[in-house]
């Protein structure tokens, strides 16, 4: 792996969470949330929402995770808002995880990886969420792009949605669960790359049943707030794996909008709760 001007992924992530804490704030502008802010369910309303979030979070949190689907539903106009949002956050020193959950094979996977991780792309982010369920080996183009550009991946392992349980807790021929196999595969990527290129997505809403104590990468943990997880739950759920744990809260913070000061205060409050719980 060769470093780029942006630096190694683990180094950048560690510096960011040291400076601003481990909270990852989601930007999830679904139709109901836009309405609750008094905004139209249009690309213009989306832009107002995103601009308020950028202003509120830019100086308070280390990591922000835009949910791509809520921008994508407005077509090219929505993608234009997403491009501006990503660029503004990164310019303010925030690390951006594009929550795109991409996963395919061959040249298609390579194109997805370039779209989200290549600095030449208008969608270039610091990391992207990916699905390993076409086989962890199919993520090779993402690994290659992430390694080349000092970026990261967050691989879906044990998600917070109940529909995923049957697949993720099924047992492989080795006796491990599918989710634990994903953990092992991601760890192997990091050993080979010499960096924490591959992180995991592990929901914080229930016992995940994974052994994460020796995992070498970051863990994105959605479910804080509206989905039922509390900061106080994190030490027991992620025992021994909290140094690069990124608990994610979206709706619980966004409900304080559209007032930018209230949004900023909510993000600061949740960030500090997370840090106290994990201290």
Write the DSSP assignment of 66-100 as a string of letters: EBTHHHHTTHHHHHHHHHHHHHHHHHTT-EEEEEE
- Cβ contacts of 172 within 8 Å, gap of 6 or more: 178, 181
- Distance separating alpha carbons of residues 45 and 60, to the nearest angstrom: 24
Is residue 101 annotated as part of the catalytic site, yes or no? yes
- Distance separating alpha carbons of residues 70 and 89, to the nearest angstrom: 17
Q: Which of 30, 73, 101, 251 is catalytic?
A: 101
What does the pLDDT read at residue 5? 41
- Strands 63-66 and 24-27, how do they pair? parallel
Look up residue 192 and give its DSSP letter. H
- Distance separating alpha carbons of residues 152 and 137, to the nearest angstrom: 16
Chunk the chain into consecutive blocks of 10 residues (it has 279) and report each block's average pLDDT, rounded to whole numbers. 59 97 98 98 98 97 98 98 98 98 96 98 98 94 97 95 88 94 96 95 88 94 83 92 93 96 98 96
> Which run of H or E residues covers position 42?
none
What does the pLDDT read at residue 53? 98
| 127 C-beta neighbours (distance < 10 Å), count | 27
CB 157 within 8 A of CB 139: no
What does the pLDDT read at residue 179? 95
CB 55 within 8 A of CB 48: no
- Cβ contacts of 251 within 8 Å, gap of 6 or more: 26, 28, 33, 225, 226
What does the pLDDT read at residue 3? 36
**b/e code 235-244 from CB counts within 10 Å (16+ = b):** eebbeebbeb
What does the pLDDT read at residue 226? 66
What is the pTM for the complete model shown? Answer: 0.95
Residue 155's nearest CA partner among 176, 180, 172, 174 is 180
């Amino acid at each position: 792996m060769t470093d780029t001007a942006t630096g190694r992924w683990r180094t950048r992530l560690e510096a960011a969470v040291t400076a601003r804490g481990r909270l990852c704030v989601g930007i999830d502008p679904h139709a109901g949330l836009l309405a609750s802010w008094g905004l139209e369910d249009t690309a213009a309303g989306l832009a107002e929402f995103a601009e308020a979030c950028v202003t509120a979070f830019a100086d308070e949190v280390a990591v922000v995770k835009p949910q791509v689907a809520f921008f994508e539903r407005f077509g090219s106009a929505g993608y234009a808002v997403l491009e501006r949002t990503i660029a503004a956050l990164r310019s303010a020193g925030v690390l951006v995880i594009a929550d795109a959950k991409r996963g395919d094979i061959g040249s298609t996977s390579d194109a997805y990886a370039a779209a989200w991780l290549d600095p030449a792309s208008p969608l270039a982010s610091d990391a992207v969420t990916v699905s390993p369920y076409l086989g962890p080996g199919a993520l090779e183009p993402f690994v290659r792009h992430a390694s080349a550009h000092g970026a990261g991946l967050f691989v879906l392992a044990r998600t917070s949605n109940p529909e995923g349980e049957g697949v993720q807790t099924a047992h492989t021929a080795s006796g491990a669960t599918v989710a634990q196999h994903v953990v092992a595969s991601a760890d192997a990527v990091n050993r080979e790359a010499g960096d924490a290129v591959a992180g995991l997505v592990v929901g914080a809403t229930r016992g995940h049943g994974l052994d994460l104590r020796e995992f070498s990468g970051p863990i994105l943990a959605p479910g804080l707030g509206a989905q039922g997880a509390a900061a106080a739950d994190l030490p027991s759920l992620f025992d021994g794996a909290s140094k690069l744990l990124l608990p994610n809260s979206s709706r619980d913070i966004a409900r304080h909008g559209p007032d930018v000061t209230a949004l900023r205060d909510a993000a600061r409050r949740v960030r500090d709760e997370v840090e106290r719980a994990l201290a």
